[in-house]
Every structure is written in C-alpha cells, then in structure tokens.
Amino acid sequence: MEDFLKRTSFMKFEPPKLRELGADIVRLANVEGLTGHGASVELRLQKIRRARREREAAREIEL
C-alpha cells in the first residue's frame, strides 16, 4: 500500500568523484530538462575548483 507515498532519492558525491563525473551529470540534467539540477551541480563544481585554487595559492605562499 504505497498509494500515497512519494519516493525521493538522494545521491552524494565526494569532490573527486564529482570532478570526474560532474560535466556529464550537468549535460544529462540539461538534456532531461532538469536545468536546476544541472545548475546546482555546476555551482558545486565551481566551489570545488575555487577551494582547489585557494589551496594551491596557499601552498605557493608557504614556499
């Protein structure tokens, strides 16, 4: 009796895996018309890239 139940799935990607698959996820979401989902993944990718650049800059300063 699941007549009034709505199933929701959540997926979690660690940063290395999201970097690996992110572009494909965005492309698939956009093809399926889920542009908000694609935009959300793109924002997460930008955050990962920014954090990586900041870590690299901090290492250069230490040298």
**4-45 residue pLDDT tens:** 888 888 888 999 999 999 999 999 999 999 999 999 999 999
Q: What pLDDT score was predicted for residue 6?
A: 85
Q: Is residue 2 part of a domain?
A: no
Alpha-carbon separation of residue 54 from 14, 25, 27, 31, 48 (angstroms): 18, 25, 27, 32, 10
* Number of structural domains the chain divides into: 1
Is 21 within the bounds of a domain?
yes
User: Could you tell me the residue range of the domain that residue 30 belongs to?
Assistant: 16-62
CA 13 to CA 10: how far, in whole Å? 10
On the question of pLDDT at 63 being above 90, the answer is: no
In a domain, 51, yes or no: yes
Asked if residue 53 belongs to a domain, the reply is: yes
Is residue 50 in a domain? yes
Is 31 part of any domain? yes
The whole-model pTM stands at 0.76
44: in domain: yes
Residue 7 covered by a domain = no
